[in-house]
Structure 1
Amino acid sequence: MDDLGNLTSPQTAALVVFAFLQADCRNSDYREELFSLGQEENLIRDINCNNPRRDPRRDPRRDSPGDGDLETDGHLASCITDSLGDILPSVELQLPRNHADAAAIQLVAEGLREIAAHFEHNRSVAQATHNLQQNIMAVPSKPWKDYLTQEVDRLINQGVGLEHLAQERVIAALALTLVKGVCEQAPHLLRNLFNTALQYISSALSR
C-alpha cells in the first residue's frame, strides 16, 4: 500500500471500504445488511445466481470456489464468499477488469486491515467506538462525519503507537475500524455510516 491517493475515486474508495467492512464479520444481521448494501451500490455480484440460498449443513462444498470464479479477484473474493456464503448467495467484489487496478484495491484493503489489527485490544479505540455510536444515537441530525472526525482526531492526538507508519494510512484504518465497530453493534446504521466513511476518507486525503 504505497499510496492512498487512488481512494479519491468514488468507486475505488467504495470497494476498499466495503472490503474492509466485510472482513471477519460474524454477526448475521450485519452480514445481511452488507449483502444488501453491496447489491444496491453495485459493489458485489452473484457468481452462482441460479442457486437458491443454501443450507450449509447440506452443502459441505460451500467453501470451495466454483468453476466460474475469477482468479483475478483473489483474496477479497474468497473472503466475501466465505463470510456471506452460509446464508446468502455466493458473491464476489465487482473489481475492475484491469488486473493492475484490481490488485491495487486488494492491496490497499489488506494493508488497512493489517493496521486495524493493531487496534483490536486497544481500550481507547473501543471507547471511541462507543462514543461514536452514542453520539450518533443521541443527536442523529448532526453530520455523522463530524462525530467520526472528532473521535479519530482524539485517538491520533493520544497516540496509537503506529507513528512509524504513514499517518494517512493510520487515520483511514482508524476511521474504518470505528465505523465497523459501530455497524457490528447496530447493523441498521450501516448504510449511513458507509457513506460517512467515504466522505471522511475523501476529505482526509484532500487535506
Structure 2
Amino acid sequence: MDDLGNLSTEPNAALVILAFLQADCRTSEYGKELLSLGKDLNLTRDVSRRDALEDGDLETDGHVPSCITAALSDIQPSVELQWPRNRAEAADLQQIAEGLREIADQLEHRVVAEATRNLSRNISASPSEQWKDHLTWEVNRVMSRGVGLDHLPQERVIVALTLTLVKGVCEQTPRLLRNLFDAVLRYFNPATVR
C-alpha cells in the first residue's frame, strides 16, 4: 500500500489499526477486548495519574482531578497507545489513523451497515483462516459498487472501509477481535504470518 508508506512494518500497521479501532469505542466488552489485545501486542502502556502530572504540564486552575481520576479508574482503563519515540514518525502514524477515521466517516452508513452484516454472517459460518478472504471479498464488492469518494486516494478509502467493517463486526461481537485483527494484518501485508 504505497500511499500509506509508514504502514509497511507490522508494528506500525498494528498501531494504526488499533488506534482506528479504539476511536469512539461504544461498548465496554469491545473496549475490554481492545485493551487486552493492545496489552498482548505491547502496543499500550498503563498510565497513572502520577505519570500524567509528571509529564511537565502544570495545573493552572489549582484543581487536581484526583477524585475524578479515582472515581473513573475502575470504569475506564488508564492506558495509551505506545507511539514510536521518533516524534515525526509518531505524528505521521497518528495523522494516518485520523485521516482513515475521517474517510470512514464519509462512507455511506447504509453501505457500511450492509457490508458489516454480510461480513459478520460470512465469518461466523467459516473458520478464521478464511476470514481474510471474506474481508477481501466484501471490501472489493463495496468498492466495485462505488462509495462516492473518488476525490480521495483509493488505497486510503480501501483501508478505511476495511477497518470500518472490522470495527462494526467487533462492536457487535467483541470476541472476534483478535482473529479479525490478524486477518486485517494479513490483508494489508500478505507476507505477515502470525
When normalised by structure 2's length, the TM-score is 0.83
Cα 1:130–1:44, aligned 2, differ >3 Å: closer, same or farther? Answer: same
**2-side partners of 1:123 and 1:179: how far apart?**
16
Question: 8 Å contact 2:128–2:179 — kept in the other structure?
Answer: no
Please tell me whether residue 12 in structure 1 is matched to residue 1 in structure 2.
no
CA distance in 2, matches of 1:20, 1:85: 23
Partner SS, residue 45 of structure 2: strand
Which structure 1 residue ranges, 5 or more long, are not aligned? 51-64, 72-83
Q: 1:88 to 1:10 in 2, by over 3 A?
A: same
1:156 maps onto 2:132 in alignment: no
Q: Measure how far apart 1:142 and its partner are.
A: 4.8
Tell me if structure 1 keeps the 8 A contact 2:38–2:44.
yes
C-alpha contact 1:46 1:90 (8 A) present in aligned 2: yes
- Give runs of aligned pairs for residues 43-62 of structure 1, distance below 5 A: 43-48=43-48
Is the contact between residue 136 and residue 187 of structure 2 (CA under 8 Å) also seen in structure 1?
yes
Structure 2 unaligned runs (5+)? 58-71
Inter-CA distance 135–202: structure 2 relative to 1 (3 Å threshold) = same
Q: 1:60: which partner in 2?
A: none
> Larger radius of gyration, structure 1 or 2?
2
| Cα-Cα RMSD | 2.4
Asked if residue 68 in structure 1 is aligned to residue 54 in structure 2, the reply is yes
**2:89 alignment partner in structure 1:** 101
> Would the aligned equivalents of 1:116 and 1:174 in 2 still touch at CA under 8 Å?
yes
1:11-56 per-residue CA deviation (whole Å, 9 max, x = no partner) reads: 0000000000000011000000111111000010001189xxxxxx
Aligned 8 A contact 1:27 1:184 in 2: yes
Q: 1:86 to 1:151 in 2, by over 3 A?
A: farther
Task: Supply the distance in 1 between the matched residues of 2:182 and 2:128 (Cα, whole angstroms).
Answer: 15
- Three-state SS of the structure 1 residue aligned to 2:52 is coil
Seen in structure 2, the aligned counterparts of structure 1 residues 46 and 200 have a Cα distance that, compared at 3 Å, is same
Runs of 4+ in 1 over 3 A off after TM superposition: 68-71
**What's the secondary structure of 1:143's corresponding residue?**
helix
Distance 1:49 1:34 in 2: 21
Aligned residue-pair number: 176
Structure 2 distance, partners of 1:96, 1:131, is: 36
Tell me if the contact between 1:47 and 1:68 (Cα under 8 Å) persists in the aligned partners. Answer: no
Q: Give 1:138's aligned amino acid.
A: A
Contact 2:22 2:31 in 1 (8 A): yes
Give the TM-score of the pair, scaled to structure 1: 0.78
1:140 is displaced (CA, Å) by: 2.3
Native 8 Å contact 2:132 2:187 kept in 1: yes
Separation in structure 2 between the aligned mates of residue 177 and residue 86 of structure 1, nearest angstrom:
28
Q: Is the 8 A contact 1:132 1:151 kept in 2?
A: yes
Q: Percent identity?
A: 61
CA distance in 2, matches of 1:174, 1:88: 28
Deviation digits for residues 121-171 of structure 1 (CA, Å, limit 9, x no counterpart): 521221110010100111225511100000000111000000111110000
